[in-house]
Structure formats: structure tokens, C-alpha cells
């Protein structure tokens, strides 16, 4: 223990001096083990669509109007088989509820995560799941996104920008967006934002990409739009994953035919400096990938020094498997890259049953076993997904893949018989490049507990800490389906690279009294000054008072695209607040705002189009 503490003290001095971490670069792989290559497109040039500096919405009321896309449902490979397996496991899981599983033998030796600053995140505008993502700059600017809003915040929780993503992008051709992702490029001190057009049809499938012009997102963004139907075969793009290398941005995703069937996975490769400079964006894409992966996870560096050229990617099987697919894009566009495929053996894994929650028969969808989050550090790819940890209970599947050795070490962590752990996200939590510590945030729930946001630390030796509760729910979540509610699909996790000691910011989702999701942001660090027998309990944590954001959501339909105004009217007929002016798109729309600004009383929310009333909803504030 003394040796570890001395190492920590030395690392603290280095960080305090502002010295960047060294990154060993890409590993050397035995090419004789390569099993295949992908096909590469020609090189394209896409011009800047526009420079965007959209004004913020009202920061007190946070009004947002979003349109619901009539998306074509799509099917995962092996989905029918997976649903049958989950249903069978649910019966077995219910039978074994409360019985201790094998995971209780896990040695708890990591430093228990400690919650620092915490506050309300993006408000819910009626979407499920929230698809949280978060990034934080060295200057302490937080960019937080969720379906379908974007906010900028300070580390003290003050909101400096808030808008719907449709209004933020401000592109008349884009009515529906989803799956937002935000990254911070620490080496270049810039943000990258992504969302996809979400109508689920090739005719308007687009990748919407923004590069911040400076280290302050308020200074504006360079906006680009790439086709989500790159093969021209009536496909549309979904399930995005992003990573940043030393010179490029990579975006992976799955293509689905307009009829809903899976086509293939693709990877876009583009020169990031073109985007930062607002010039013509150079890009290409990869297709016909060997071993036909479903959902590829490209991994950025875990530290503030990027690696390259090219990028590493991993993929697991969505239903069950005992291998990990490793892909290596070997060079930058300007070089002569190939996309090489390797197969790496790992411990067997398979999908878990869905999760029960307190107070309702409505379950939470535990999804499947696709890779969710990861990073590359010193020759090792760290990544997480979720899988059965015993008797149908969901848990964390944490992996360390040695690229040079083409070997993988996996470890399952959960609480079978008691709790489901789901939708993990991972960030580097070490002091030096050879410290393999990681911080994993995740959702948890059981039939006796409302949904929670938690975190766990895995130290260099691979030992787990106790889990730390970050946010508990006021109630269960169930508002889009009477039987199974979606959660996840992602938990946002991002390291602040210039912090004096490892500091990770998370953006998770929790249930509110109206049984809807909302997001919670928190900073997580570790207390390295205590041993495992001295770990503090919750009573030693300082929880700062934070505002509670209560969101009111009103659904309405329009038969064509139309300008709308939203007003709050008092019981006496007087205007209380003019909330919103904008465009509602054909079909179902959702309008949301923070009702915590209203004093107790009765009000009416009016939606007008061309001075004609199309909705008038009474709300009572107690």
C-alpha cells in the first residue's frame, strides 16, 4: 500500500505542472494473424454547410419543441432468438431473486468513488431513452447532450446555453434528430458534436457533424452534413459511435434497409483539422467489413494525448459469444490505410433478462451485449458492455484487450440475485500511462429499488471497489410502453484531463415522480488516502443542494409543417410567459419546459398557429 501511495504522490506533482501524458502510440500487431480486410471508398470533399452560433433558449424556462419521427422499426441480427432467450431467463431470474450469486466472491480493493459537484442535467422533453453523452474541456466547460437537447454548463452547475438540438443545428432540411454524441479533443482543445437525422429512411438520412471554432462552444461551430446512405442502396444510418485520433475523426454506425432489415456496419474516416478550420472536409468510408460486425466501437485515447495514425475498433456479438472482433484502420487518409480484422478469444458472454423496478410491473429493457464504451491506453483497449452475470441478471463486462498479444482479459461484475447493473460507460482513472485504473458509471435497479445512477472503480490490478450511489430516483420510469420501458442506451462519461487528480464527469438518467426520465450530472473522484477497511459510507459524502428541475411535457399533432407559438396564461386570462416561437413539423410533436419557475396556482399552456389555438392544457402547480 505504501508503494502505491508513493506512486500517486509522484504523479500528482507531474500533473500539477501541466505536463501532458505520454502515449506509446499504436501497438505492433502480427499481420500473419489478420483474417480479412474491409473495402474502402473513394475520397470525398464536403464543403462547410454553415457556421452556426444559434442563440440559446430561455435558461430559466428551458422551452423545447421536438417532433416525433415516424421511424421504420428495424431488426437486429438474431433478434427473435434473443427475445426468446430473454423471456426464458426472466422466469429463471424471478425464481432466483434474492439468492446470492457467484459474483459475491469478487475481491473489493479499489478506491471507492466519491461524488463531488453534482446537479441537474438536460431536461426530458418526452424522449426515451435519453442517450446521454457528456464532454468537459480543460477550461471547465461542460457540453451535455441527451435526446433531444444540448446544454453548456459550468462545473458549478450553472447553465450558460440550452436548446433543442433541432434549433441548435438550425437546418430547415432537418426535422428529426436523435443519438447525440459529444467529444472533447484535449490535444487540440476543441469540441466535436454529432447527431443523426432520425426519420429512419434513406431519403433524408444524414450525419450532422459540428466542430467548435474555439475551445468555447459559445463562439460557434462549423457544420457539415454527410450522407447516411453512402452505398446508395436505400439504407439509413443508426447507432453512432465516435473516436478521435491524432489527425482524424472516426464515426461508426449500422446501416438498415428502408424495410427495416440490417444491411451492414460502416465507418466514416475524416480529417478533423478541416473541420476545426471550417474548410472543405476530406473523408472516406469503409464497408464490406470482415466478420460482418453489428455496432463497432472505435476508441479514443484515455489521456490528453491522442494516438494514431488510424484508430482501433472492437465489436462483440449482440446476443452471445466467446470472441471479440478487433479492427485496425492502419493509417490516415493521406497515407495508404487498410482496415484489418483480427479475432480475439474471450470468456463466454450472453444476454440477460430485462430488469424489474420498484412499484410497477413495467420492466426496463436491458438491451443486448454490444460494446458500449472504451478507450485506448498504453497498448491496452479498455472497453465495457453488459451481459448475464448469473441467473439472468445483468451486469458489467469489463475487458482489457492487449493489442500486440491479441489477447483479452474479461471480468464480470454485478449483484446477481439482487440488482441489475446496466448500460456501463468507462473512462481512464489512472495517474500515469501504465496505471490501468478505470472508472465505470452505470444504471442499477431492482424490484425493491427505483432506477439509480452508480459508479465503480477498477484499480490497476483489476480489483473492484464498492459501488457508489450517485443519484436515486423519485419513482419508477414507465411512460412510452406499459410493459417494457427503454433506458440507456448510453451513460455519458468523460475525464477532465487537466485535473490535479483523476476526475471523471458522468451524465446518467434517473426516474422522476411523473415516471419519466431525467438526467443527472456529477463529478467523480477517488479517495486514495484510505484502505479497503477504512472505506467511508454514504454518511461521509457531501451532497450539495441543487435545484430540482420539473419538466412539463405536452404532446400535439399537426398535419403539415407550421409556425407555432407557446404561451402560459394565468387563470385570470393574463399572459404569464411567452415561451416559444418556432416551427412544428408534420406528425407528433412534444413541447417541454421547466415548470419550477411557476408559483403555485392554475395555468393554461396554449399552443397557437397563425393565431389559431391548436392546444390548450391546464396545469396545476402545488
Q: Determine whether domain 552-621 maps to CATH 2.40.50.700.
A: no
Mean pLDDT of the chain: 88
Residue 535's pLDDT is 35
pLDDT digits over 337-362, tens only?
A: 999 999 999 999 999 999 999 999 99
- Among 582, 605, 619, residue whose Cα is nearest residue 57: 582
DSSP state of 10: H
Give CA–CA dist 608/589, Å, rounded: 13
The band of 618, judged by pLDDT with boundaries at 50, 70 and 90, is: confident
Residue 96's pLDDT is 64
Q: Residue 92 pLDDT more than 80?
A: no
Give CA–CA dist 111/414, Å, rounded: 17
- Among 547, 443, 513, 593, residue whose Cα is nearest residue 118: 547
Q: What does the pLDDT average to over 281-302? A: 98
pLDDT digits over 572-615, tens only?
A: 778 899 988 888 888 888 888 887 788 888 888 888 888 787 77
Q: Residue 537 pLDDT more than 50?
A: no
The band of 616, judged by pLDDT with boundaries at 50, 70 and 90, is: confident
Q: Residue 252 pLDDT more than 90?
A: yes
Residue 345's pLDDT is 98
48-53+73-549 — its CATH code?
2.130.10.10
* Residue 387 vs residues 141, 319, 395, 442, 462: alpha-carbon distances, Å: 34, 9, 6, 13, 18
Of 359-373, 413-427, 546-560, 562-576, the poorest mean pLDDT is in: 546-560
Contacts of 3 by beta carbon, 8 Å cutoff, 6+ apart: none
Grid cell digits, residue 200: 429512419
Contacts of 616 by beta carbon, 8 Å cutoff, 6+ apart: 604, 605, 606, 607
The band of 9, judged by pLDDT with boundaries at 50, 70 and 90, is: very low
Q: How many CB atoms lie under 10 A from the CB of residue 527? A: 14
Residue 101's pLDDT is 46
Q: Residue 24 pLDDT more than 80?
A: no
Q: Residue 440 pLDDT more than 90?
A: yes
- R_g of the chain, CA atoms, integer Å: 23
Domain boundaries, the chain: 48-53+73-549, 552-621
Q: What does the pLDDT average to over 128-136? A: 94
pTM of the full structure: 0.87
3-class DSSP state of 127: coil
Q: DSSP 3-state helix, strand, coil percentages of the chain (rounded to 5)?
A: 10, 45, 40
pLDDT digits over 193-211, tens only?
A: 999 999 899 999 999 999 9
- Among 380, 375, 383, residue whose Cα is nearest residue 301: 375
Percent of the chain with pLDDT over 90: 67
Same CATH fold, 552-621 and 48-53+73-549? Answer: no
Give CA–CA dist 206/228, Å, rounded: 4
Q: What does the pLDDT average to over 133-138? A: 98
Percent of the chain with pLDDT over 70: 89
Q: What does the pLDDT average to over 386-392? A: 96
Q: What does the pLDDT average to over 252-271? A: 96
Strands 484-486 and 363-365 turn out to be: parallel
Q: Residue 3 pLDDT more than 80?
A: no
3-class DSSP state of 130: coil
- Among 291, 400, 415, residue whose Cα is nearest residue 352: 415
Largest CA distance in the chain: 79
The band of 459, judged by pLDDT with boundaries at 50, 70 and 90, is: very high
Q: What does the pLDDT average to over 469-478? A: 97
Amino acid at each position: 500500500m505504501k508503494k502505491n501511495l508513493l506512486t500517486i504522490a509522484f504523479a500528482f506533482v507531474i500533473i500539477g505542472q501541466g505536463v501532458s501524458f505520454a502515449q506509446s502510440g499504436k501497438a505492433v500487431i502480427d499481420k500473419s494473424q489478420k483474417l480479412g480486410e474491409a473495402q474502402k471508398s473513394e475520397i470525398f470533399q464536403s464543403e462547410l454547410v454553415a457556421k452556426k452560433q444559434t442563440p440559446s433558449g430561455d435558461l430559466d424556462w428551458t422551452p423545447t419543441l421536438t417532433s416525433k419521427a415516424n421511424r421504420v422499426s428495424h431488426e437486429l441480427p438474431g433478434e427473435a432468438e434473443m427475445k426468446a432467450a430473454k423471456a426464458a431467463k426472466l422466469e429463471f431470474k424471478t425464481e432466483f431473486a434474492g439468492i446470492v450469486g457467484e459474483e459475491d466472491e469478487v475481491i473489493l480493493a479499489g478506491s471507492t468513488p466519491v461524488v463531488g459537484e453534482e446537479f441537474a442535467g438536460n431536461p426530458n422533453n418526452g424522449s426515451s431513452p435519453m442517450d446521454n453523452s457528456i464532454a468537459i474541456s480543460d477550461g471547465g466547460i461542460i457540453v451535455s447532450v441527451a435526446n433531444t437537447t444540448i446544454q453548456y454548463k459550468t462545473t458549478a452547475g450553472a447553465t450558460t446555453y440550452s436548446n433543442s438540438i433541432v434549433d441548435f443545428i438550425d437546418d430547415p432540411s432537418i426535422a428529426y434528430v436523435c443519438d447525440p454524441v459529444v467529444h472533447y479533443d484535449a490535444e487540440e482543445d476543441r469540441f466535436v458534436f454529432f447527431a443523426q437525422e432520425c426519420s429512419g429512411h434513406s431519403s433524408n438520412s444524414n450525419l450532422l457533424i459540428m466542430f467548435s471554432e474555439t475551445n468555447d462552444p459559445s463562439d460557434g461551430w462549423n457544420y457539415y452534413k454527410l450522407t447516411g446512405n453512402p452505398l446508395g442502396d436505400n439504407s439509413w444510418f443508426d447507432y453512432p459511435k465516435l473516436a478521435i485520433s491524432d489527425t482524424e475523426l472516426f464515426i461508426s454506425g449500422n446501416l438498415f434497409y428502408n424495410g427495416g432489415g440490417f444491411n451492414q456496419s460502416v465507418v466514416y474516416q475524416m480529417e478533423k483539422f478541416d473541420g476545426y478550420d471550417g474548410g472543405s472536409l476530406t473523408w472516406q468510408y469503409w464497408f464490406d467489413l470482415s466478420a460482418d460486425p453489428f455496432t463497432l466501437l472505435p476508441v479514443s485515447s484515455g489521456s490528453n494525448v491522442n494516438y494514431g495514425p488510424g484508430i482501433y475498433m472492437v465489436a462483440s456479438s449482440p446476443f452471445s459469444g466467446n470472441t471479440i472482433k478487433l479492427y485496425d484502420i492502419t493509417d490516415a487518409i493521406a497515407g495508404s490505410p487498410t482496415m484489418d480484422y483480427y479475432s480475439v478469444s474471450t470468456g463466454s458472454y450472453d444476454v440477460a433478462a430485462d430488469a424489474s423496478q420498484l412499484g410497477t410491473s413495467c420492466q426496463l429493457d436491458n438491451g443486448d451485449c454490444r460494446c458500449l464504451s472504451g478507450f485506448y491506453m498504453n497498448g491496452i483497449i479498455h472497453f465495457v458492455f453488459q451481459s448475464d452475470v448469473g441467473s439472468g441478471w445483468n451486469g458489467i463486462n469489463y475487458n482489457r484487450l492487449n493489442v500486440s498479444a491479441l489477447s483479452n482479459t474479461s471480468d464480470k461484475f454485478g449483484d446477481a440475485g439482487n440488482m441489475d447493473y446496466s448500460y456501463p460507460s468507462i473512462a481512464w482513472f489512472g495517474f500515469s500511462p501504465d496505471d490501468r485504473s478505470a472508472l465505470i458509471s452505470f444504471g442499477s435497479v431492482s424490484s425493491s429499488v427505483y432506477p439509480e445512477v452508480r459508479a465503480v472503480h477498477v484499480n490497476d490490478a483489476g480489483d473492484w471497489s464498492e459501488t457508489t450511489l450517485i443519484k436515486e430516483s423519485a419513482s419508477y420510469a414507465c411512460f412510452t410502453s406499459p410493459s417494457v420501458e427503454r433506458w440507456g442506451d448510453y451513460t455519458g462519461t468523460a475525464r477532465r484531463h487537466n485535473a490535479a487528480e483523476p476526475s471523471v464527469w458522468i451524465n446518467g438518467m434517473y426516474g422522476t415522480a411523473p415516471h419519466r426520465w431525467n438526467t443527472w450530472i456529477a463529478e467523480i473522484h477517488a479517495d486514495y488516502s484510505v484502505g479497503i477497511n477504512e472505506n467511508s459510507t454514504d454518511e461521509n459524502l457531501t451532497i450539495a443542494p441543487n435545484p430540482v428541475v420539473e419538466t412539463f411535457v405536452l404532446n400535439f399533432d399537426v398535419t403539415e409543417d407550421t409556425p407555432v407559438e407557446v404561451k402560459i396564461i394565468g387563470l385570470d386570462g393574463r399572459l404569464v410567459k411567452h415561451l416559444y416561437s418556432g416551427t412544428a413539423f408534420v406528425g407528433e410533436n412534444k413541447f417541454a419546459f421547466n415548470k419550477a419557475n411557476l408559483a403555485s396556482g392554475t395555468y393554461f399552456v396554449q399552443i397557437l398557429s397563425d393565431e389559431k389555438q391548436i392546444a390548450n392544457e391546464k396545469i396545476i402547480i402545488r
